[in-house]
Amino acid sequence: MVRMGSGTILTKVYKYFLAVSGFDPVNSLLAYSGGRDSSTLFHGLRKLQELEEERRLVAQTCTQARVALTVARIRTGAIQERSTAKRIGIEAAAREYRYRAITAIARSHSLSYVITAHTRDDLSETLLRRIFSSSSSSGLKGIPSVRNLGEGITVLRPMLGISRREIDEYIQKERLTVSEDSSNEEDLFQRNKIRKILKPSLVRVFPGWEKGLRGTSSRVSIDGDFIDKAAEEAAQRCIFRYMEGFRVSTERYISQHRAIRLRLLTRVCGSLQGRVSLSWRAILEFDRSILSGTPKIRGAGISIERREGSLFIAPSLDFHGHRGYFFLIPGPGIYRNAGYSVVSEKVVILKAQGKGNTISKNAFTFPLVMRTRKPGDLLVVDGHTVLVDDILKDWKVAPSIREVIPILEDSKGILAVMPICLEGYGLPYRKFRSFKGPLGEEGISLTLKGVR
């Protein structure tokens, strides 16, 4: 994709046309000379037309079949922003958005299953990508046929044993109308390079490579499951919740096999980092520092302090480049992070229904997390999935302040966006997750102090 300045040309073109009410590329005339400028615009309009045609096909098919359709919309440019912020590829960023939207929609409609059409070719391509990306044994399991997303939602993949060739034959036989993504013919994305370059080469050298790859994946999965079970048992013996983080028995941690230790660290740090995964290199460095007896370790948003025979692992608030914070709130009380300017005020149980910065205690479960926003954060409002970034823009919150707006989360996901919690900013805004139960007469009041 051609780039210009801080964003792609196509992103800028999309933003322009999205702002034009009722615009339809099919019902438009382009002044096309064949020069650089009009040729670039022609290409962008073709992409936009393809997207509109896909939307129409999906809507028409669902209407004819009398099947309910929910469309999740992602702000133009948001995927690129997430890709940059997390230092991951465009496809990985898009995948994260996709599953967040799927989970939020399933939750809002009280659905138990999400069904996807991943094929055997998707499985082999995923395994190839992960092998060359230094993946763990969990990653080398490939794409599971059944995946638990949590909150009673399960992903089912009934077509993992079916090849893309078999699907093409079925489409021709049944004369199905389908959408063809033109990006599948371009070499810009890694998936296409795997399909068009790597896989044909493997067929020439190793004709049975797919079967062999799936066999290797199965064997690695068996070993990985054994180690994961051992790590789970070790975690129950040596990892305990402590304030905003965890306390880990130093002696028991050091006595574990290296494979177990690294899984324990990955588990603890991952839960503190939320959806942002810690690099393998960072996990290795943490383990090396612990074994060498380093009293204090800090990096990648994690702080590890060694004292009193334990490792105290907590979020580190020395974020680089912005004023980020993270608080774990297990119940009513005052929560501070000594040495930092971010303080959470006392959580008060009210006797009457409150307003402003209060939340009904029936609408959530402890523990709560109060944190800064992350790219792709989604809130379910009145049955619709909304980007937190879009909510803040609608409120006209200044970009310099958006990075410190409190996001509240519980075990079900994002509970609320609460600018009103920021002491000293005078922001009256708040927006809550959809809740259909009785509010009751009790709630909690939250204030965030010391943010500058």
Place of tokens 């382009």: 30
185 found inside a domain: no
381 found inside a domain: yes
Query: Quick check: helix, strand or coil at residue 98?
Result: helix
Write down the pLDDT at residue 222: 92
Kind plus residue range of the DSSP H or E element containing 102 = helix 90-108
- Which residue, 44, 69, 94, sits at the end of a domain? 69
Confidence of residue 156 (pLDDT cuts 50, 70, 90): very high
358 found inside a domain: yes
In a shared domain, residues 48 and 25: yes
Q: Report the pLDDT averaged over residues 115-136.
A: 89
Each residue of 173-188: b (16+ CB within 10 Å) or e?
eeeeeeeeeeeeeeee
Confidence of residue 212 (pLDDT cuts 50, 70, 90): very high
Pick the closest to residue 47 from 182, 196, 186 (CA basis).
Answer: 182
| Residue 261 contacts residue 253 (beta carbons within 8 Å) | yes
Q: How many angstroms from the chain centroid is the CA of residue 23? A: 31
| Residue 235 contacts residue 267 (beta carbons within 8 Å) | yes
Q: Report the pLDDT averaged over residues 135-153.
A: 86
In a shared domain, residues 307 and 405: no
Write down the pLDDT at residue 11: 67
Find the CATH number of the domain harbouring 270: 1.20.59.20
The residue among 14 and 437 whose pLDDT is bigger is: 437
Domain that holds residue 10: 1-69
Q: Report the pLDDT averaged over residues 99-112.
A: 87
- Which residue, 69, 88, 108, sits at the end of a domain? 69
Write down the pLDDT at residue 3: 35
346 found inside a domain: yes
Instruction: Check whether 92 has a pLDDT greater than 90.
Output: no
In a shared domain, residues 377 and 277: no
- Which residue, 315, 348, 372, sits at the end of a domain? 315
Pick the closest to residue 97 from 80, 117, 114, 113 (CA basis).
Answer: 80
Cis peptide before 367 (omega within 30 of 0): yes
The residue among 341 and 281 whose pLDDT is bigger is: 281
Read off the pLDDT of residues 378-422 as tens digits, 9 standing for 90 and up: 898 887 888 898 899 899 888 878 888 989 888 888 999 999 988
Regarding beta strands 407-410 and 384-387, do their DSSP bridges make them parallel or antiparallel, or are they unpaired? unpaired
Write down the pLDDT at residue 188: 63
99 found inside a domain: no
Write down the pLDDT at residue 26: 64
Write down the pLDDT at residue 5: 35
Write down the pLDDT at residue 154: 92
In a shared domain, residues 340 and 388: yes
Torsion of Cα atoms, 162 then 168 then 184 then 193, to 10°:
50
Dihedral (CA of 121, 67, 95, 328) sign: negative
In a shared domain, residues 299 and 370: no
Write down the pLDDT at residue 389: 87
Place of tokens 């638990």: 148
Read off the pLDDT of residues 21-46 as tens digits, 9 standing for 90 and up: 667 766 778 887 877 788 778 877 77
Instruction: Check whether 267 has a pLDDT greater than 50.
Output: yes
User: Could you tell me which residues come within 8 angstroms of residue 267 by beta carbon, excluding any fewer than 6 positions away?
Assistant: 231, 235, 239
In a shared domain, residues 336 and 445: yes
Write down the pLDDT at residue 318: 46
Lowest mean pLDDT among 163-167, 205-209, 245-249, 278-282: 278-282
169 found inside a domain: no
**Six-digit token string for 218:** 């199965």
pTM of the model: 0.58
In a shared domain, residues 334 and 445: yes
Percent above pLDDT 70 for the chain: 84
| Residue 269 contacts residue 277 (beta carbons within 8 Å) | no
Pick the closest to residue 180 from 195, 168, 163, 169 (CA basis).
Answer: 168
Write down the pLDDT at residue 319: 43
In a shared domain, residues 367 and 334: yes
Q: Report the pLDDT averaged over residues 53-75.
A: 85
Instruction: Check whether 305 has a pLDDT greater than 70.
Output: yes
31 found inside a domain: yes
**Six-digit token string for 440:** 């009751």
Q: Report the pLDDT averaged over residues 84-107.
A: 81
Pick the closest to residue 216 from 201, 230, 206, 204 (CA basis).
Answer: 206
Write down the pLDDT at residue 338: 37
Q: Report the pLDDT averaged over residues 278-300.
A: 83
Confidence of residue 128 (pLDDT cuts 50, 70, 90): very high
Query: Quick check: helix, strand or coil at residue 372?
Result: coil
**Alpha-carbon span 12 to 249, nearest angstrom:** 53
Write down the pLDDT at residue 317: 52
In a shared domain, residues 364 and 407: yes
338 found inside a domain: yes
Mean pLDDT of the chain: 81
Read off the pLDDT of residues 219-238 as tens digits, 9 standing for 90 and up: 999 998 999 999 999 999 99
Instruction: Check whether 325 has a pLDDT greater than 80.
Output: no
Read off the pLDDT of residues 370-389 as tens digits, 9 standing for 90 and up: 888 877 788 988 878 888 98
Read off the pLDDT of residues 330-345 as tens digits, 9 standing for 90 and up: 777 776 653 344 444 4
In a shared domain, residues 339 and 429: yes
| Residue 138 contacts residue 228 (beta carbons within 8 Å) | yes
In a shared domain, residues 404 and 377: yes
Confidence of residue 205 (pLDDT cuts 50, 70, 90): very high
Write down the pLDDT at residue 273: 60
The residue among 349 and 286 whose pLDDT is bigger is: 286
Q: Domain total for the chain?
A: 3
In a shared domain, residues 351 and 434: yes
